[in-house]
Structure 1
Amino acid sequence: MAVSYHVRSCSLPARLQPHGLNQIQQLLNKVPTDKNNSLSLLSELYDSVSNLFNDSPSSLLLPHQSFFTHLLDLSLVHLDLCSKLRDITCRIKDCLRDLRSAFRRRRHGGDSTIRCHVKAFIRSRKSVHKDLAKLLLLLKQVNHSSSGSSHPLITLLRQVCSQTCYSFRTVLLSLSTVVPKPRPSRWTLVTKLVIKNVTSTSVQVQTGHRNEFQIMDEELRRFCSAKEIKKERIKCVITNLEKVDVAVEDLEESLESLYRRMIQARVSLLNILSLHI
């Protein structure tokens, strides 16, 4: 008796899906214009890249294997940056909550105690700034150019890599921007006001607006230099700390989500390339 076998074809699509390419291009156009949600959009972008890898024929990727090998190496750099940025964000969150706790316990310690806690927090910020500066330097050293191909997929993936670094740089700068220290007290009141206005304007020109971290740094410096700590100033500091805490929490969640999706995209690419190793 003859036995018949039914073989099911598992071949990939014969060409790239235009919908996937268009979706990536639309997200690439959208990310730079929406800075408040850039990391969330970047996560969507990596989702689309992962889906495109899963739907792409390996025969189209193989002629550009050197580029995709470079892309795998580059993805490790991006993952490392994201991981370190996530760790720094976690450190900021822990220091913030320690300081907020100190303000809640203020009535048991007095003004001198709370000043010590604020100064300790400022020192921790300086340590964070050094680590952020190292990551900014690492970003400058990232090399995206590895292929002169005009293939639409490769062109888009190069743009994704560039946008990833740009988004990381934006986050790093927002975390590391420090409001300049005020001039020495020997300056006259009028001169101080002029310098303050110039400094405030320059910061806003560089960043577009003062973010929560800039406002917090400025308020804490004023708090430490004040001769008398008034209730109004304490309320202002506490309010700023709460806003920064919320911003840091959102940032940490966004980085965690992005990290998972970057890994998923890397795995999708590895699965395709492993079929032909």
Structure 2
Amino acid sequence: MAVSSHVRSNSFPSRQHPQAAHVDEQLTRLRSSEAASSSSICQRLSNLQDLHESLETLLRLPVKQQALSQKQIEKLLDGSIMILDLCNIAKDALSQMKEGLMEIQSILRRKRGDLSAEVKKYLASRKFLKKSFQKVLKSLKTGQNNEESLAVFGDAEAITISLFESLFSFMSGSKACAKWSLVSKMMSQNKAICEAEANEFTRMDSEFQSQKSLKVEDVQNLESCIEDIEDGIESLSKSLIKYRVSILNI
């Protein structure tokens, strides 16, 4: 007697496209990184540049283009222009600070000119920029919304905004250490903690306020830090523009 064979159909989940898997890996790496110093911020800017280049490649896949609705495309365009605006705000602020530092360096090298006046001008500019950063940070917190999930694209936008929040906070300086000078004579332990937490910007703010041991090398170090961040933002901007063009081409 013939035995009838019954073929069972197994349903396997569709495999993720290699490019989508690569983007997921990049997102995971960025989520686990912290931006607590200029070097880590620069590294995250570089990683974000790579991420947006990968997203741009992903957007060129027909299957991904077909999956995006008109509303989602518009949200991606809005998000990309907002991040480009953040890039421009950061670049303008860094350029303004660098210009002031160059003037101070010039006076220190020539040992001629009104150093006190130039430092006062730089610190006034820093104070204005800090207020601007706080406004930007406040607008970022109130402006974020999650009405509709955009999967990896939405995650990338959120992580990029998070980086700029870290960047603006980094350039503003630590709030905890800003009031250190009021208690420095009474609590030397607080001084050690704040010096450990301070970054290039806050350390130089303190140096400028005292002006007692101001060195050309210290000013150059801050200028170098600014230039590294500028380069990272410029590279990220270029990747974002390509990414935005790919969205517009859908």
TM-score range, shorter chain: 0.7 to 0.9
CA distance, structure 2, for counterparts of residue 164 and residue 59 of structure 1: 22
Paired residues, number: 227
CA distance, structure 1, for counterparts of residue 15 and residue 104 of structure 2: 53
Q: Give the secondary structure class of the aligned counterpart of 1:182.
A: helix
Task: Find the partner of 1:83 among 85, 88, 96.
Answer: 88
Residue 181 of structure 2 is matched in structure 1 by: 182
Residue 57 of structure 2 is matched in structure 1 by: 51
CA distance, structure 2, for counterparts of residue 198 and residue 147 of structure 1: 46
Report the residue type matching 1:19 in the other structure. Answer: P
CA distance, structure 2, for counterparts of residue 72 and residue 169 of structure 1: 20
Q: Give the secondary structure class of the aligned counterpart of 2:147.
A: coil
Residue 151 of structure 1 is matched in structure 2 by: none
Distance change (3 Å), C-alpha of 1:244 and 1:56: farther
Distance change (3 Å), C-alpha of 1:91 and 1:25: same
Residue 8 of structure 2 is matched in structure 1 by: none
Return 5+ residue gaps in structure 1 as ranges: 1-14, 149-153, 184-190, 224-228, 273-277
Task: Find the partner of 1:198 among 174, 190, 208.
Answer: 190
Residue 146 of structure 1 is matched in structure 2 by: 147
Shift, 1:180, TM fit: 2.7
Return 5+ residue gaps in structure 2 as ranges: 1-13
CA distance, structure 2, for counterparts of residue 271 and residue 241 of structure 1: 45
Distance change (3 Å), C-alpha of 1:259 and 1:27: same
Q: Give the secondary structure class of the aligned counterpart of 2:181.
A: coil
Q: Which runs of 4+ in 1 moved over 4 A?
A: none
Shift, 1:171, TM fit: 0.7
Residue 211 of structure 1 is matched in structure 2 by: 199
Residue 135 of structure 1 is matched in structure 2 by: 136
Shift, 1:252, TM fit: 0.8
Q: Give the secondary structure class of the aligned counterpart of 1:147.
A: coil
CA distance, structure 1, for counterparts of residue 90 and residue 67 of structure 2: 31
Shift, 1:202, TM fit: 5.5
Residue 255 of structure 1 is matched in structure 2 by: 233
User: TM-score by structure 1 length?
Assistant: 0.74
Question: Does the 8 Å contact 2:76/2:247 carry over to 1?
Answer: no
Residue 6 of structure 1 is matched in structure 2 by: none
Residue 234 of structure 1 is matched in structure 2 by: 214
Aligned alpha-carbon RMSD (Å):
2.3
Residue 18 of structure 1 is matched in structure 2 by: 17
CA distance, structure 2, for counterparts of residue 180 and residue 263 of structure 1: 41
Residue 270 of structure 1 is matched in structure 2 by: 248
Residue 60 of structure 1 is matched in structure 2 by: 66
User: TM-score by structure 2 length?
Assistant: 0.82
CA distance, structure 2, for counterparts of residue 45 and residue 101 of structure 1: 40
Shift, 1:200, TM fit: 4.8
CA distance, structure 2, for counterparts of residue 116 and residue 101 of structure 1: 13
Shift, 1:34, TM fit: 5.5
Percent identity among equivalent residues? 26
CA distance, structure 1, for counterparts of residue 154 and residue 29 of structure 2: 16
Question: Does the 8 Å contact 2:58/2:64 carry over to 1?
Answer: no
